A = this chain, B = another copy of it.
Amino acid sequence: MKKSVFYHAGCPVCISAEHDIINLIGAENVDIIHLGESKDEISEAEKAGVQSVPALVTPNGNVLHINFGASIEDVKK
């Protein structure tokens, strides 16, 4: 199965959601990307349709925005 991608920015909401997602779908099925530390990934996240973090991009390309933590604009700062 193609992996999901979980984008976050290190905020408490993000970390909590990250643990939940890993418990639910398994660490081996999801790539975790910290946009605060990997700012070069932000444009890729935006292209995928990510508007806020935490967000999960599913293998078929849908974006699930989870428990609003921070807007993608805030992550750019």
- The chain A residues found within 8 Å of chain B, CB to CB, are 4, 16-17, 20-21, 23-25, 29, 56, 58-60, 62-68
Across the two chains, which residue of chain B brings its CB closest to A19?
B62
Across the two chains, which residue of chain B brings its CB closest to A4?
B24
Copies in the complex: 2
Q: Is the Cβ of B17 less than 8 Å from the Cβ of A64?
A: yes
| With contact pairs A24-B4, A24-B25, A25-B25 given, residues A64 and B62 touching in the complex (Cβ less than 8 Å) | no
Q: Give chain B nearest CB distance to A21 CB in angstroms.
A: 8
Find chain B residues with CB under 8 A from A67 CB: 63-65
Across the two chains, which residue of chain B brings its CB closest to A17?
B64
Find chain B residues with CB under 8 A from A29 CB: 24
